[in-house]
């Protein structure tokens, strides 16, 4: 299978003023040398949205169209008995994650667009289940956002566990910009936190507020499609799609408001403004924002010794510009950007496997593995 390799030029980076978060004045260019190439592991996939690695090195992955697959020993097996999935626009079968103690309990977690509820349409749901052969068993619905809507945009949705075993997931504002993200009594535009069995922690920030959604951990988000725990600090990092410009990376703190749509570094797709401010008291600033938007999807911190030049960096997929972006960090600030593997396809997800290799998925291509070039 053909490898995708991109080598261009290196450009010295200029940092922006400390008075505002670093943004696209830090230009993303290809590295001077590329010591890695791509190996296609699972070819001919349409929209491989989520993937996770099982203890036997097999890969469990989703297709947004509503299918879950197990890739093992070179073969793809369709997993049966999934919940009912509402496929519309950006919605469908989305992320998949393992319980941190998967070897002991076998729990698998799914995020998906669900039609369950009294209204027509759908909304994001979180389920856990177990894998028995090629079937899902022991299915438990942990969270279902309401109300359903026929809108096709901004479902989120990533799943992540922290070092203490809490379950986090994201739900986009479902195209209801001026209704959901700033209202803690409504689902959408939020990051949520649960115990692994769906119970709501007593110390969640809004448990004592009447009519609030008790599972909310942070709010004021647009369409979060990246969640990852920092490997050293254990803190949750998130990225989300902005409108035209203003994609963000945020460090998520309990109960904080991340501003959408009151503050933003983006504009409407037509080029008109929906807000005149980029900061406001009581609202968090992003660690980094992209203008123009790259349409970020999926991200992972590099901890593997297999990529010594990238260790400690953050990798983010770009749907819009079809490359993998490397963000070099210093004191939680982006000081350098690089475009890796340009001119491939829309990058939907990126993860570091337990064996230390980094995999990423591309729409219309499949799942690929980054490997050192043979000398």
For residues 63-81, one letter each, b for 16 or more C-beta atoms within 10 angstroms of the residue's C-beta and e for the rest, the string is bbebbbbbbeeeeeeebee
Q: How far apart are CA 257 and CA 284, in angstroms?
A: 6
The strand order across the sheet containing 190-194 reads: 159-161, 167-171, 190-194, 216-219
Q: How far apart are CA 295 and CA 28, in angstroms?
A: 14
Strand partners, 128: 109, 140
pLDDT score at 363: 96
Residue in the structure block whose two tokens are 């992955």:
61
pLDDT in tens, the chain (375 residues): 434 333 322 222 232 333 445 465 788 888 877 899 999 999 999 999 999 999 999 999 999 999 999 999 999 999 999 999 999 999 999 999 999 999 999 999 999 999 999 999 999 999 999 999 999 999 999 999 999 999 999 999 999 999 999 999 999 999 999 999 999 999 999 999 999 999 999 999 999 999 999 999 999 999 999 999 999 999 999 999 999 999 999 999 999 999 999 999 999 999 999 999 999 999 999 999 999 999 999 999 999 999 999 999 999 999 999 999 999 999 999 999 999 999 889 999 999 999 999 999 999 999 999 999 986
The count of residues in the chain is 375
Q: How far apart are CA 237 and CA 299, in angstroms?
A: 9
Closest CA to 368 of 325, 312, 324: 324
Phi, psi of 309 (to 5 degrees): -70, -20
CA dihedral (20, 267, 238, 224) in degrees, to 10, reads 170
Would you call 218 helix, strand, or coil by DSSP? strand
Residue in the structure block whose two tokens are 């393992």:
98
* Total-model pTM: 0.93
Catalytic (active-site) positions: 154
49-297 CATH choice from 3.30.300.130, 3.90.420.10, 3.20.20.30, 2.120.10.30: 2.120.10.30
pLDDT score at 185: 98
pLDDT score at 24: 55
Helix (H) or strand (E) holding 36: strand 36-43
Establish whether the linkage from the previous residue to 261 is cis, with ω within 30° of 0. Answer: yes
pLDDT score at 33: 79
Instruction: Provide the token pair at 47.
Output: 């929209």
Q: Where are the alpha helices (DSSP H) in the chain?
A: 102-105
């Amino acid at each position: 299978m053909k490898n995708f390799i991109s080598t261009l030029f290196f450009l010295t980076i200029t940092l922006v003023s400390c008075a505002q978060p670093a943004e696209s004045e830090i230009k993303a260019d290809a590295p001077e040398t590329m010591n890695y190439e791509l190996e296609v592991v699972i070819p001919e996939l349409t929209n491989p949205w989520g993937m996770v690695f099982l203890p036997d090195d097999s890969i469990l992955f989703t297709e947004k169209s509503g299918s879950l697959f197990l890739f093992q020993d070179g073969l793809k097996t369709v997993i049966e008995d999934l919940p009912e999935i509402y496929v519309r626009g950006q919605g469908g079968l989305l992320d998949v994650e393992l319980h941190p103690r998967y070897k002991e309990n076998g729990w698998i977690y799914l995020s998906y667009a669900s039609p369950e509820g009294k209204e027509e349409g759908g909304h994001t749901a979180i389920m856990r289940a177990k894998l028995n052969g090629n079937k899902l068993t022991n299915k438990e619905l942990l969270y279902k956002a309401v109300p359903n809507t026929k809108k096709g945009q901004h479902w989120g949705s990533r799943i992540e566990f922290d070092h203490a075993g809490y379950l986090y997931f994201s739900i986009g504002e479902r195209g209801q910009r001026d209704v959901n993200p700033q209202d803690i009594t409504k689902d959408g535009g939020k990051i949520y936190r649960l115990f692994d069995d769906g119970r709501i922690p007593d110390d969640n920030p809004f448990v004592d507020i009447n009519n609030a959604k008790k599972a909310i951990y942070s709010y004021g988000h647009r369409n979060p499609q990246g969640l990852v725990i920092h490997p050293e600090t254990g803190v949750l990092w998130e990225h989300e799609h902005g409108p035209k410009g203003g994609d963000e990376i945020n460090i998520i703190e309990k109960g904080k408001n991340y501003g959408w749509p009151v503050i933003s570094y983006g504009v409407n797709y037509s080029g008109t403004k929906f807000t005149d401010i980029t900061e406001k008291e009581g609202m968090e600033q992003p660690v980094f924002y992209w203008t123009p938007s790259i349409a970020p999807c999926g991200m992972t911190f590099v901890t593997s010794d297999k990529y010594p030049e990238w260790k400690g960096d953050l990798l983010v997929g770009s749907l819009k510009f079809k490359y993998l972006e490397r963000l070099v960090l210093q004191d939680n600030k982006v000081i350098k950007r690089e475009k890796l593997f340009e001119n491939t396809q829309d990058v939907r997800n990126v993860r570091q496997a337990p064996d230390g290799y980094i995999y990423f998925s591309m729409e219309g291509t499949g799942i690929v593995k980054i490997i050192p070039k043979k000398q």
